[in-house]
Amino acid sequence: MKSLKLILFALLLVGCAPIRVNYDFDRTTNFSKYKTYQYYGDMKTGLSELDTKRLLDAIDSKMNTLGFEISETPDFLIDIRSTEFQGAPRNTVGVGLGGGGRNVGGGISVGIPVGQSNVNRQITIDFVDEKGKGLFWQAVSESSFNPNASPENREARLKAVVEKVLAKFPPKKS
């Protein structure tokens, strides 16, 4: 029973793993001039076709709430790339051995990895003004990814990534 609780806790922890996002943008950009967007036609997202559709739907929904519209004559284009990579296992079990006597001491400690290594996904989203500035805003997110997740969990995870990525778009003037 105790091991079942431990497994459920570990799954909850992995399911709520943080989404880290780094932002960068051209400080001279007048973001108020951008109202419409479109995606690059030859975009190679690195995601499955279904995950690409889920991601684009999530971006469209969030961009709509931010006041942007998709258009055939856009003010800027969106490019998306992603990569998956194996992370090192975070959980280890420590095994120690020690001894002492007659003013002599010693010890050995070994960390043994437990469980599988994590699969992480990095998604880079670029906003590009092809008529002027070129790349003017970029977000790079990194989060855990379960390749065996259900479609509902994949959709929820991609929505969470988009929410976090677009939380600081457009950037506030400082």
Domain ranges of the chain: 17-86+118-168
Q: What does R_g of the chain's alpha carbons equal in angstroms?
A: 22
Residue range 17-86+118-168 in CATH 3.40.50.1000? no
What CA–CA distance (Å, rounded) separates 27 from 103?
65
pLDDT classification of 12: cutoffs 50, 70, 90: very low
Whether residue 141 is predicted with pLDDT greater than 70 in this model: the reply is yes
Q: Token pair of 150, please?
A: 């259900």
Minimal CA–CA distance to 69: which of 131, 43, 135, 78?
78
Angstrom distances, CA of residue 153 to CA of 136, 157, 158, 160: 32, 6, 9, 10
Q: Token pair of 154, please?
A: 């994949």
pLDDT at 85: 80
Q: Token pair of 172, please?
A: 């506030």
Minimal CA–CA distance to 161: which of 134, 118, 137, 125?
125
Better pLDDT: 152 or 109: 152
- Residues 14-43 have a mean pLDDT of 88
Consecutive H or E run containing 85:
strand 76-86
Mean pLDDT of the chain: 82
